[in-house]
Amino acid sequence: METITTENLINKFSILKSYQQKKVVEYLNNFSALNLIDADLIAGQNMICRKCGSSNFVKNGTHQMKYNLEKTQRFQCKTCKCTQYCDANTVLYNLKIKDKWIDFVYIMLANKEPMDNKSISEILEISERTAFRWRHKFLSSLNKINPLSTQEEIEVDEVYFRFNVKGRIGKEKFDEYYGYQHPDNIESELRKKERFMKEEKYQTIFLCRHNRTDDFEFSPIKIQNKGIVAESDLQRVMKDFDLTEKTIITDKEPSMISYMKTLETVNHLTFRSSDIKKGILDDKNVHNNNINSMMASIRQWFKKFRGVSTKYLENYLKWFRYSNLFKLLKLREMLEYSLLDKESYPRFKNLFKIYKEFIYI
Ligand SMILES: [Zn+2]
């Protein structure tokens, strides 16, 4: 590629037609807006101590990182005296190529089709391995922030995904990378369990809540192979949601009806799935059509990956949600959601452990 100087850039720009110039200006505006966002500054807001959770700090000198031009400010916790940087436990922690992070988030979310690792790594000139790790780092944030805004009416349903282990069962790179290396000749308990679950066609079940303004959220319930979800499982997952004074719309599933009866302040409306298919409804607002059409687009969106491993499923569901929300939100807000989640890094490091526990619920 030829070297770009300001002079030849101006020359080239001047011979463009006006619609082409508009396109170039649009690109320039986009890229310069990206570059004006200071991720470190956002990550440093509401800093909390990674050891004791305190939010009282004093500045504690600067440190020259190998991969950073400028020196990085250190902070010391007033309570427990341990030191950290402003990005402790956020997605930026331990990141070597910080200046491309914002571009990465933008590319992840701005495309209607999910971008694969190879394309992202080519655009940003990072390795595929880095692109893979960044994907799951980013998706491991966003957990505690921006919960579904629940208006008066919420559609609720369980959704099912086939239990999936990509590649050789239980011997994925992820395990090895994080130190869960299994000896080749001995099958670990987890591998046996995964093999069994795959052969017996187990389903991974999530609870889906969908409000009536195009936002939705998934919460993992459990993995099982037969039967409906038990009332106790619904209770375990739903007890943390504030459902007071809300209208919950579900189909006539006995365990859901039974659980809803225990919540006195909830207005529970039910419909028969068969009536929806026939197009007969007593009340035209009582349906789960939003969930159903969203699930149809999610299955379409998933096709690109040719199956998603159960251990990453929750992350991918978040990705789908946030790329939908991206239409409504600005990039800076997205980054704030991501960077202000101070449990992101530990959650990323524990993905495998969370998955393992989920299998044994
Ligand atoms: Zn502390």
Is 324 part of any domain?
A: no
Boundaries of domain holding 283: 153-163+201-307
The average pLDDT across 173-180 equals: 50
**pLDDT exceeds cutoff 80 at 284:** no
pTM recorded for the entire structure: 0.85
Region 94-114: mean pLDDT is: 88
pLDDT, position 172:
46
325 lies in some domain = no
Does some domain include residue 47?
Answer: no
- Helices within 167-272 (DSSP H only): 173-177, 189-199, 231-238, 254-261
Distance from the alpha carbon of residue 348 to the mean position of ligand 1, in angstroms: 22
**Does 179 score more than 70 pLDDT?**
no
pLDDT of residue 72: 86
The answer to whether residue 207 sits within a structural domain is: yes
Compute the distance from residue 347 Cα to the ligand 1 centre, in Å.
20
pLDDT surpassing 90 at residue 165: no
147 lies in a domain?
no
Say how far apart CA 55 and CA 46 lie, in whole Å.
Answer: 7
Residue 170: which pLDDT band, with cuts at 50, 70 and 90?
A: very low
pLDDT computed for residue 40 by the predictor: 87
pLDDT for position 274 = 77
Distance 220 CA to ligand 1 centre (A): 32
Q: End of a domain among 307, 330, 355?
A: 307
* Pairs from 236-239 (Cβ < 8 Å, separation ≥ 24): 237/207, 238/207
How many Cβ atoms sit within 10 Å of the Cβ of residue 164? 17
pLDDT average, residue stretch 113-122? 92
In sequence order, what are the residues at sequence separation of 6 or more whose Cβ sits closer than 8 angstroms to the Cβ of residue 10? none
What is the model's pLDDT at position 187? 65
**CA 79 to centroid of ligand 1, rounded, Å:** 5
Residue 8: φ, ψ to 5°:
-70, -20
Does some domain include residue 242? yes
State the total domains in the chain. 2
- Whether residue 277 is predicted with pLDDT greater than 80 in this model: the reply is no
What CATH number has the domain bearing residue 295?
Answer: 3.30.420
pLDDT of amino acid 259: 96
Tokens 């017996």, located at residue: 200
Residue 338 has pLDDT above 50, yes or no: yes
- How much distance in Å is there from the Cα of 50 to the middle of ligand 1? 7
End-to-end CA distance of the chain: 55
30 and 157 housed in the same domain = no
Question: Residue 103 domain-assigned?
Answer: no
Report percent pLDDT > 70 for the chain: 92
* pLDDT of 226 above 50: yes
Mean pLDDT of the chain: 87
Looking at per-residue pLDDT, the higher value among 165 and 234 belongs to 234
How far is the centre of ligand 1, averaged over its atoms, from the C-alpha of 17 (Å)?
Answer: 59
pLDDT the model gives residue 191: 80
* Domain closes at, from 259, 279, 307: 307
Q: Is residue 298 part of a domain?
A: yes
Quote the ligand 1 centre to 344 CA distance (angstroms). Answer: 18
